[in-house]
Structures are given as C-alpha cells and as structure tokens.
Structure 1
Amino acid sequence: MFKRNFGLLFVVAFVLAYIPFVRNYGFGLIHEDSVDFPSFYYGARLAFVEGKSPYVEENLREIFRGYTENNGDYFPYLYAPPSLVFFLPFTALSYRDARLAMLAVNHLLTLAFIYILLRKIIKINLASPFSIAFTVYIFFFSPLHVTLDVGQINLVVVTLICLSWWMARSKSRPAWVALPLSLAILLKLYPVLFLAPLFWSRQYKAIGYVLLFVIVVSVTSAFFLPEATWQTWYANVGSKGYTAEVMNLDVNSPANQSMFGFLLRSFFGKNVRFPPLWVVPEWVSASAPYVATGIVVSISLLASYLTSRAKAPLPFSQLDMDFSLWSLATFLIAPVSWDHHLVFIVPAVAVLIYALLHADGKFRFVVLGISLVAAVALACPYPYNSPDFREGFRTLLISVPLYLVGALWLNVVVFVFSRTGRREISG
C-alpha cells in the first residue's frame, strides 16, 4: 500500500518538477544562444573542415569573426585533441541545429543520469521518499540549469563516469568498465582520477583496458587531426598547469570555484575589482596550488587505502564511497571548476546523504546536517560576482561554493574513517 502510494507520489512529483524544468531549460532555450557550445562547434570545424589547429589564437579569432560580430566574446577550445572527435558529427550541421542537438542530448542524459544513479548505483526503488526528494532536487539544481544554458558537456561526462561506476560495482567485464571511463577521460582528462577506485577495488584489468583505449584513440586521432594539433595543445594549454591565464581565459574569475581560483584571487586580486587579500612571496603563490592539491590527493588516497584494506565488513560499499570521494576531490583540485561543474558532485551528494541516513554513531546527525545544508546551498544560484564581495575579507565570500564542496569532501573522509553504519547502503 505504502509502496503504491510512494509510486504515485513519485509520478506526481516528477511531473510537477519536470514540466517547469523542460519549459524553462528546454523550450525556453531554443532561441537563446549558448556561451560555451560555440567553442565545441567551431573548434571541431577548425580541425575537420578548415584543417587548422583550434589551439592557436589566430585560428580561433578567424573562425569566430562572424560569430563575435553578432554575439560578443567567445571561449577558447581547451580540451585535449582526441576530444575533437566527439564533436565531429556537429560539423555536418548548421550552428543552430548543432546547438539544439546538444540541448536535446543533455535533456535525455538528465533522465538517464537520474535512473543510473538511483536504480543501478544506489539501487533504490524509485517509489521511495529518497528517490522522490533526489529527483526533485536534480530538476531544481541550478548548476544543471547553467549546464543546459551554456551548452556544456558536463552531463555527458558525469553519465559516462556513472556508467563505469555501475559496471565496476556490478563486476562486469573489464572492457565494459573501461569503455565509458575511457571516453570520459578523452573528453575531460580529469576523470583519470577515477582509476584510483578501480585500483583499490583490484580491478586491474579494467585499468589496463582504460589505458589501452585512451592510448589507441589518442594515437589514432593524430592521423585525422591537422598537423601540429598535439604540439599546439601542449604548448598553449597542456603544459600550463596552474596558470592564471590560458589562451586569454581568465582563470581567477569569481566563477572559478576551484582551490586554484581561490588562491589566485587571494594572492593576486581581480583586475580593478579588488586588490590581493594577502601579499606573499612569489614562491608561496607558485607552490600553494600544488601543495593544496597534494594534501587533497594524499588524504583521498589514504581514505581509499584504509577502506580497501579493512578486515571487518564495512557498513557501505567501498567502491561507492571511493567514487564519491574522487568526484569531490576532482572539483577541488582542477585548475578550473566553473559553477556548472558542480554537476559532477551530484552522485557524491546522493551517495553520502543516503549512507548517512542509514548509518549510526553519535556524530551521524552532525555530519548529515552539514551535508544536507551544503547540498541545498549548492543547488541554489550564488552571487559570486556581487559588488559586495569586492573589499577586504569579504572577497572570501566569493568562494562559498568551494567551501561547501570542501565540507562534503571532508564529510566523506570522516564517514570513511569512522566506519559507522547499520547496513550496506546498496547491494
């Protein structure tokens, strides 16, 4: 009886949340331009139609000339060369048709992402209070709205990661575990960190297949890409590391919510908006992002290691917590983590909160409360560009989303170390 009622409630909640979602961020975006999608479309056209490298600023300015006259500035294409192959089909379409195709793909992937995460990873019935709350949460998640608005590929990457996660926890064939993760790595590079959960769960063959797929596609793509594409990418993008500006992209923009963005704004300020908060020696500002990254990666590796070596049965799936841990760590340590990249942490939020709801221990409610507040706050639009955040220590308020992601990451670490819980969160 209760299950039937929850099933009806899920349908009602889904419809009530989905209709405004599709109206505002589907049909409502048909006649609106996207900020990020032009770099994908014109980057692919440069490579496959014009036969020029998209990592040369002169080439970008030339192909964007007509676009900028009507639409203003553009973002450079920064993804690694093999990623261009994914955007090749768009070159057969007009810009408008390609943009609408990307919008349609993102809407389909939103539904697929919800299903895979709830039914295949957490393994919970859709007719449950948690599924209802999470589904509504997704449709009102502001970074997802931004992803659709700007024409980003976050949903493609996070769905691929979740597919690999599902295959890994289901003990599928190594090649099936590796294929979606390989595609995610070829698109974004950062998902290479998800090799850590596979390593600690002893899925060595899957790791081998990932490396094989990535190498084969990377080498093969070199035969189809313009001459010097790899060289120009490495010279202008790949070798930059933690650099304040990459191909005229302003990395210390308030929208960059990574640790590096926070450090840049603190040590160098932001143009004429606000001065540096702290004046430090050059060696400190140069080494700080690497030290911060080293700390996050080291703690994450330690948490993964201790979980995998535990002799007693753990109250949660080690693989699930590892994937959650690295989802959050990736956002923290990436050179650039725009607000729309918060889509990548949604699986971690779902797994962590579900685990805490089924855990015991005296500090459970504290950690759960912090996690719920962080999750709700991250779902809301944040005014990081507010003029009120441009003086003294108030500039620290720009990075509130970063602090919330850091709190979630720390909560996963604490939960893993504490090993509290009544039962496994999934099968």
Structure 2
Amino acid sequence: MSPMNRPRQHGIGGGRGVAPRQRLGLARWLQRPLAALGRALGQTPDWAPDRGRSRVSWVGLILAIALLAVITSQIPLRETDIAVYSTAAERVFTEAEDPYPRRPGDVLPFTYPPTALVLLYPIAGLSLEQLAAAMRALNLLLALVVMIVIVGELARDDPSDRLRVWGPLYIAGFGGLYLNLQFGQINLLLLLLIWGYWRALRRSREGAGAGALLALGCIAKPHYVLLALGAGPLPQRRLIVGGLLAGGLLIALSLWVAPTGSWISWWREIVATASLTELPPGHSSIAAPWNRSLAGAIARFLVPNKFSTLIADDPALAARLTGSAILIVIGATGALLWRSMRRDLASDSATATGLRDRNRLEQQAAEATSTPIPPRGALDHDLELSLISIAVFLIAPASWTHHLVLLLPAALVVLRERVLAPSRAVSSRFAAGLVLAVLALTLDDLIPREIRVSSLPLMSLMTVAVIALWLLLAEQLWQRSGRRGTRIPI
C-alpha cells in the first residue's frame, strides 16, 4: 500500500500502542492550540496527540521548541536589515518619496520590488526597537508554524514516522533560521506562502488558491516564480488564473501605494546595476562569504574583494564561468523535470489517441523483467520542487545565508528519503546526513571570523553543500523516472 493510500493516523508518532493516559502533560496542554493552528493553515491535525501516536514524537517537537527558545535567547538583535525596512517605510508612507535612490548616510539599499512595499505599510511609524521586537515575535511564531505544518505534511509520506521526531529538531538546529531571527528578515513568511503552493501540488489540488499562494510568495523575491514549472507539464487553468490574478493584484497595489516612478527607479537603481560579478551600489560585495550562490562562490576567486585572496583578477572570466555554471544548472534541472513530467504527457497521449491497449501490453512486457516506473505522485512533486528551489538559489546573483530557510522543504525531503529511511545503506545515509549538517551549521558562529573570511575552501563549503543537496535529490528523481524496461532501484 502506498503511503498516500494507507489509513490516516492521528497525532504525531505513528501508533505504537501507547495508551492515551500515558501522554505527556505538556503534550496534552498543547493539543488544542496546535490542532487549531494546523486547521487554520489548512493542515490536517496530524500533530494532535490523539490515540495511537507515540509520545516520542511529541518529545521531538517539545525538544525542538525548547532548543529554539534556548538558542534564540542567546542571539542578539541586529538592526541592519530592520533599518532598511524602516527607512523605506518612512520614505514611502510618510514622505511619499521613492525608496530606491540612495541618500547620504544610507547603509544598505532597499532592493525588493515595489510589490513588496505593501508589506511595509503595517510598520510605518514604528521605532526601530518596536519593529525589531515585532519581527522577532513574528518570526518565532512562524518558526513554530514551519515545524508543525511543513514537517507534518511531509511526514504523511514517511512510513517510519521518524521525520515527525527529527524534522522539528533539524529545523531548530538550522543556522539560517536564527539569522532570520537576528536580522528580522521576512523569509519565513515567504517560505510558508510558497509551501501552500507546494502542498497543493503534492496533494493534486492545483486550484486558483495554489497559484495565488505562489504569487504572494514571490512578493519580495520574484525569481521564485520559477517554481511554477513544478506544475507542469500541463498546469491546470485554474492555477494559472489564480496566479495571474494574485500577481496582477500585487502590481496594482504597488502602483497605488508606491510613489510615482518607483518601478522605473527600481529597475534603474537595482536590476540594471546587478550582474554576475557585481551587486547594486551600497550592497555587500558579491564575493562576500555569506553569499552562497554560484556567482558568489566564483567571484571569491576572480573578482577583487576584501574577503579573499584572488587566484586571478579577472571579472570577465568570472562572468563567463558563472554564466556557464548557471546554464548547466538550468539545463540539468530542466532535463530532470522533463524526464519526470513526461510520464503525465505519455499517459494523456495514450488516452487521447486510443493507444491504451498497446501501452498496457508494453507495460506488462516491461514489468516481466523490471520494476515498473511509479506513477507521478507526492514524492515526485517533492523532488521536482526541491530541485527547482535549489536551482533558483544557486543561479541568483546573491543568495545570502539567511535565504537557506527557503531550502528547508528540500532539506527535509532529503532527511526523510536519504537519512531516516532504514532501507538505505549506512554509507549513503551518512553522506546525506553530512550534507544536511553542513547546511544547518552555517559556520558563521562556529569558526573565528579571521579564518572564516580568509579561507577559500571554507567560504565555498556552503555552496558546495547546496550543490550536493541538489545532486542527492537529482539522483533519486532520475531513478524514479527511469525509462520503461529499466530497473528502478528502491
């Protein structure tokens, strides 16, 4: 029986005969608020500690919350990014001024597109201290939601139920999460909006709401619209309409709230000044150690910067190498997506042309000598969307360490499929676990700064880990979408 078809279970851990009276007191206390939170977010209450679920799973979630609280208490707030939000909100909603041209005294530029200006309206008028406290509280709440909603959904396809224990703990130990808490970033909000779209695809509910959630998730990072490719090869019309309507609404709102000329200014000041070897004026160097993109990794070897010793001063070569690497990532990702998605096209074509009988005979002949190719399901959507999200991260000119939280679903898929799966070889599980550990331990606070910003191998390690994550997922999708007549390893 496939994981999607097995009987639904309630609670966290996958029933192991634990009596209801044995539940932890804190688990019982959290039951109603967590179940209500899950229902409000469209998540079935898998986390409610009902009968038949192991208390071990609740222990995992409770330990994760405790770890989150302890680490958060040790992280000081930094107002660098919050000051950018506050300044932009003041200029737009108080002074009615364009937020993109730089003024004397500006530290970092506001780089989000005008669609993101609507997010600044609620914070207009807040002091830096008030805004910092509000963002810390919001991100703590969103971190808890990520632990419950994303892990709970992905655990539906985990027969061992181990992800319900280790998923929240992995998130609680994820360094990129705490950088979002420290700097007051909005990536957790964007992650949950994108996850709404992801969840709809894996449940085959490609309605207008899914498209709208993806559009909203791209409100500040429009390049993540590439995740729309995951709805292929023939996306539902309702999904397209929902995405277009939501995107159009965001643009209309931006034209209403943004000062005149903001779109032109954003393009001139931000988009047109960014390249494969340079970021907009006032921004960190593209070669900064905390830039984990392909452009950042290559720039540290070839583009003049204060962080690394160059092997050659040749920005033109860096641009060519980065462009080639981006094309390779796009081409390889596209090929894997096509290999996986063509199964749907083949099925539709057979139905439309009356070739079902012939295909049935071919399938029977193939099954006589091989393991049949599994139909495209939730796992395939997980793998496809994971590959796209990683590709988007790699090909962007700047992907900072705190952007790694947008790869949490992909990391959790690898945790479920490659580390916690008991059928995997120990060596394979160890290798995948090592990749996830490097991603989680960002090294930003574990290694002295003077070493961290002067060692090219260390500065490149995080990008290498992201590439390794892509390779692990690509291998599994390749195996699952193998040609008919070839054996697909389990």
Q: Do the structures match in fold with TM over 0.5?
A: yes
Q: Which residue of 2 aligns with 1:387?
A: 450
1:177 shift after superposition: 0.4
1:307 pairs with 2:340: yes
Moved more, 107-116 or 396-405: 107-116
1:90 shift after superposition: 0.8
Instruction: Output the CA distance in 2 between the equivalents of 1:396 and 1:358.
Output: 29
1:400 pairs with 2:461: yes
Q: Which residue of 2 aligns with 1:244?
A: 278
Moved more, 400-409 or 372-381: 372-381
Instruction: Output the CA distance in 2 between the equivalents of 1:399 and 1:21.
Output: 27
1:225 shift after superposition: 0.9
1:173 shift after superposition: 5.4
Q: Which residue of 1 aligns with 2:16?
A: 2
1:231 shift after superposition: 1.2
Instruction: Output the CA distance in 1 between the equivalents of 2:188 and 2:160.
Output: 24
Q: Which residue of 1 aligns with 2:267?
A: 234
Q: Which residue of 2 aligns with 1:67?
A: none
Report the TM-score, using the length of structure 1 for normalisation. Answer: 0.85
1:161 pairs with 2:161: no
Flag the 1:365–1:309 CA change in 2: closer, same or farther, 3 A.
farther
Q: Which residue of 2 aligns with 1:82?
A: 115
Deviations 1:369-389 (A, max 9, x none): 322111012211315774346
Instruction: Output the CA distance in 2 between the equivalents of 1:322 and 1:201.
Output: 15
1:235 shift after superposition: 0.5
Instruction: Output the CA distance in 1 between the equivalents of 2:191 and 2:183.
Output: 16
Structure 1 residues without counterparts, runs of 5 or longer: 65-73, 423-427
Instruction: Output the CA distance in 1 between the equivalents of 2:418 and 2:335.
Output: 21
Moved more, 128-137 or 212-221: 212-221
The structure whose Rg is larger is 2
Q: Which residue of 1 aligns with 2:60?
A: 13
Structure 2 residues without counterparts, runs of 5 or longer: 1-14, 23-52, 347-372, 481-487
Q: 1:353 aligns with which of 415, 429, 432?
A: 415
1:202 shift after superposition: 2.8
What aligned pairs does 1:334-353 form with structure 2 within 5 A after superposition?
Answer: 334-353=396-415
Q: Which residue of 2 aligns with 1:323?
A: 385
- RMSD, matched Cα: 2.8
- Contact 2:277–2:299 (8 Å) recurs in 1: no
Flag the 1:279–1:32 CA change in 2: closer, same or farther, 3 A.
closer
- Contact 1:201–1:308 (8 Å) recurs in 2: no
Q: Which residue of 2 aligns with 1:413?
A: 474
Flag the 1:330–1:120 CA change in 2: closer, same or farther, 3 A.
same
Q: Name the % identity.
A: 23
1:417 shift after superposition: 1.0
Q: Which residue of 2 aligns with 1:377?
A: 438
Instruction: Output the CA distance in 2 between the equivalents of 1:92 and 1:84.
Output: 14
Flag the 1:365–1:161 CA change in 2: closer, same or farther, 3 A.
farther
Moved more, 236-245 or 182-191: 236-245
Instruction: Output the CA distance in 2 between the equivalents of 1:173 and 1:322.
Output: 15
Deviations 1:334-382 (A, max 9, x none): 1111111111111101112323368799x86554432211101221131
1:247 shift after superposition: 2.5
- Contact 2:77–2:183 (8 Å) recurs in 1: no
Deviations 1:87-129 (A, max 9, x none): 2111143332222222111111112212222222442589933
1:17 shift after superposition: 3.2
Q: Which residue of 2 aligns with 1:69?
A: none
Moved more, 338-347 or 285-294: 285-294
Moved more, 153-162 or 236-245: 236-245
Instruction: Output the CA distance in 1 between the equivalents of 2:67 and 2:422.
Output: 38
Q: Which residue of 1 aligns with 2:150?
A: 117
What aligned pairs does 1:5-44 form with structure 2 within 5 A after superposition?
Answer: 7-25=54-72, 32-44=77-89
Q: Which residue of 2 aligns with 1:192?
A: 225
Flag the 1:203–1:372 CA change in 2: closer, same or farther, 3 A.
farther
Instruction: Output the CA distance in 1 between the equivalents of 2:426 and 2:313.
Output: 40
What aligned pairs does 1:140-151 form with structure 2 within 5 A after superposition?
Answer: 140-151=173-184
What aligned pairs does 1:178-327 form with structure 2 within 5 A after superposition?
Answer: 178-200=211-233, 202-239=235-272, 240-249=274-283, 250-271=285-306, 273-280=307-314, 283-310=316-343, 312-314=373-375, 317-327=379-389
Off by >6 Å, runs of 4+ in structure 1 = 358-361
Flag the 1:7–1:122 CA change in 2: closer, same or farther, 3 A.
closer
Report the TM-score, using the length of structure 2 for normalisation. Answer: 0.75
Instruction: Output the CA distance in 1 between the equivalents of 2:261 and 2:311.
Output: 41
- Contact 1:269–1:277 (8 Å) recurs in 2: no
Flag the 1:297–1:230 CA change in 2: closer, same or farther, 3 A.
same
Flag the 1:404–1:224 CA change in 2: closer, same or farther, 3 A.
same
Instruction: Output the CA distance in 2 between the equivalents of 1:369 and 1:15.
Output: 26
How many residues get paired? 403
